[in-house]
Amino acid sequence: MGGIHMNVGGTYMNFESFMNTKVIPAMHKVSTQRHLIAIRDGIVINIIPSMIGSIFLLIVAIPIPGWTDFLNTTGLTSILLLPVSATLDLIGLIAVVTISYRLAESYKIDPLFATVIALLCFFQVTPYNYYSEELSKSISNVLPTVWFGSRGLFTAILVAIGSTEIYRRLIVSKFTIKLPESVPPAVLSSFMAIIPGAGTLIVFWLIRVVIDFSSYESIHTLIGQLIAAPLTHIGGSIWGAIIMVLLIQLFWFFGIHGASIVLSVMEPLLFILQDQNRLAFQAGEPLPNILTRWWADVYVFLGGSGATLAIVIPLLFYAKSQHLKKVSRLATVPTVFSINEPFTFGLPVVFNPMVFIPWICVPIVNTVIAYTATLTGFLPRHNGITIPWTTPIIVSGFLLGGWQGIVIQIVNFCVSASIWYFFMRRIDRMEYKKELLELSDDVSKK
């Protein structure tokens, strides 16, 4: 038994050493990579208009019998959906502005001019025509808003990054108009942006011309078929969901903000999947996707990463250790609102082999349960509304899935609590014995 214990301990030490020397430094570089940070911050800003539009979408989607029929017969549905079109239908266009602004800001160049150039480049690669299904013909000299939403999000990201990089390199190379120092700063900066801006626009104009002569018709179609479609297909599968959850948990265990790293890559995909559901819901069509931006937050991460609400609340009732009692009391209220750092660092979870198995396994089990419930049709698919990530369970479950959403949250809470209990009970006993031993040592010293 001793040999087995030494072997397991040695294996864990080797694994920890590998993570510390190889993986964590690499992940730190990823987490501080300026382009990923710009994408993450730019997409996060999109949550604000998404929430505003979701308020009106939520009113339309209230799960009350006869409500939808009432809105349709009175003509209120189209009126209530106007703010939805003005917000959720523009997430691609907003991403061009926010991502290019954040990237230019990180380079310490004027973000306003970089943003204007990025926006012009986006319009330049977007075809000014639209094929109308109703009229069965192509309409020219119009800007198709279909590319301003989630369908144009990948193009928006690439254009924002590409245009800002080209613009920055031309600025840094001093390829600008030179004016006397006596010229006012506002005028000077405007003239300095002319040549770099023109150069950037020419590059994207050439890209547009080349793609126009191809079979793809536009850069949106090209990126959609070659990049967006394969990535969203993989990312929206059960395996994509499990890998995303697994990586978030692993990074957190080693002290890295897992959600921040993983979502900087996954968030654009999840927003596209979510908006596809929203568009299908508005059109009265079946919702195509299970995994969306808020699906995991609502059904998997109950109380935050690790589904820690399912251990913090039970600890209040069965913990004997004073340390665990204090941690659970401190963490209960924040964890209800999905802020679980008091528990994560108070236990601690980071580099704690005693909690590695439940920390990794509980969210994966929750993912499988919720995904299966959705796949079988019991749990309604997310219709595309955006809710604050701090929304407590039960409320969030009802908003995303009606009473079925609440049922799945309760099931996942009970399953998570059962798995966590098996491990935490042992930790509690060890902590309690340790505290009794320290107490007896203090008494003997006196």
The percent of residues in the chain predicted with pLDDT above 90, rounded, is 27
Spatial distance between the Cα atoms of 75 and 364, rounded to a whole number of angstroms? 44
CA 369 to chain CA centroid, Å, is 21
Average pLDDT over residues 11-39: 71
The residue ranking higher by pLDDT, 10 or 81, is 81
3-state SS class at 183: coil
CA torsion through residues 125, 128, 131, 137, sign:
negative
pTM here? 0.75
Can you tell me the mean pLDDT for 287-306? Answer: 90
Q: How confident is residue 271, by pLDDT bands cut at 50, 70 and 90?
A: confident
Which of 103, 48, 78, 31 minimizes the C-alpha distance to 389?
48
Query: Which of the pair, 192 or 445, is modelled with greater confidence?
Result: 192
417 pLDDT band, cuts 50/70/90, is very high
Mean local confidence (pLDDT), 330-340: 88
20 falls in which pLDDT band (50, 70, 90)? low
Question: What are 257's two structure tokens?
Answer: 């903000």
User: What's the mean pLDDT in 339-366?
Assistant: 88
The strand pairing partners of 131, in sequence order, are: 138
The pLDDT tens digits for 112-169 are: 999 999 999 999 998 887 766 666 667 777 777 888 888 888 899 999 999 999 999 9
pLDDT of residue 233: 79
Q: Tell me whether strands 137-140 and 129-132 are parallel, antiparallel or unpaired.
A: antiparallel
Q: Check whether 3 has a pLDDT greater than 50.
A: no
Lowest mean pLDDT segment, chosen from 19-23, 30-34, 57-61: 19-23
* Closest alpha carbon to 344 in 415, 425, 249: 249
pLDDT at 6 over 70: no
Instruction: Please tell me the number of Cα atoms within 13 Å of 106 on its side-chain side.
Output: 18
Answer for the pair 280, 286: CB distance below 8 angstroms, yes or no: yes
- Segment 54-109, tens digit of pLDDT: 888 888 877 677 787 888 888 888 888 888 888 888 888 999 999 999 999 999 99
- The model's pLDDT over 227-237, given as tens digits with 9 standing for 90+, comes to 777 877 777 88
Q: What region, left, alpha or beta, does residue 255 occupy, with left being phi > 0 and alpha being psi -120 to 50 degrees?
A: left
Q: Which residue has the higher pLDDT, 417 or 445?
A: 417
Could you give the CA distance from residue 151 to residue 88 in angstroms, rounded to a whole number?
Answer: 11
**Per-residue exposure over 338-347, b if at least 16 CB sit within 10 Å of its own CB, e if not:** bbbebbbebb
Q: Please compute the mean of the pLDDT values over residues 302-320 and round it to a whole number.
A: 90
User: For 156, how many CA atoms within 13 A lie in the half-sphere containing its CB?
Assistant: 29
| 141 against 401, higher pLDDT | 401
Residue with tokens 């501080």: 32
Reading phi first (left if > 0) and then psi (alpha if -120 to 50, else beta), residue 295 is in alpha
H and E: helices and strands count for the chain: 22, 2
CA distance 259 to 247: 9
Q: Is 90 helix (H, G, I), strand (E, B) or coil?
A: helix
Would you state the pLDDT for residue 204?
94
Q: Give yes or no for a contact between 349 and 306, defined as CB atoms under 8 angstroms apart.
A: yes
66-70, 78-82, 327-331, 369-373: which is most confident? 369-373
- Report the percentage of the chain scoring pLDDT > 70: 87
pLDDT at 419 over 90: yes
**CA 425 to each of CA 54, 173, 311, 331, 359: distance values in angstroms, whole numbers, following the listed order:** 42, 63, 10, 18, 15
Lowest mean pLDDT among 18-27, 97-106, 160-169, 383-392: 18-27
Token pair 């990794």: residue: 360
**The predicted structure's pLDDT at residue 145:** 81
Residue-level pLDDT at 18: 67
In 3D space, the residue among 132, 133, 196, 124 whose CA is nearest the CA of residue 155 turns out to be: 124
> At 376, is the secondary structure helix, strand, or coil?
coil
Residue 406 CB-density burial (10 A; 0-12 exposed, 13-18 middle, 19+ buried)? middle
Q: Give the span between the Cα atoms of 278 and 205, in whole angstroms.
A: 33
Task: Indicate the pLDDT class of residue 362, thresholds 50, 70 and 90.
Answer: very high
Q: What tokens were used for 52?
A: 């505003």
Query: Average pLDDT for residues 277-282, to the nearest whole number?
Result: 88
pLDDT band at 415 (very low <50, low <70, confident <90, very high): very high
pLDDT at 4: 42
262 pLDDT higher than 50: yes
Query: Residue 376: which pLDDT band, with cuts at 50, 70 and 90?
Result: very high
Query: Across the chain, what does the average pLDDT equal?
Result: 84
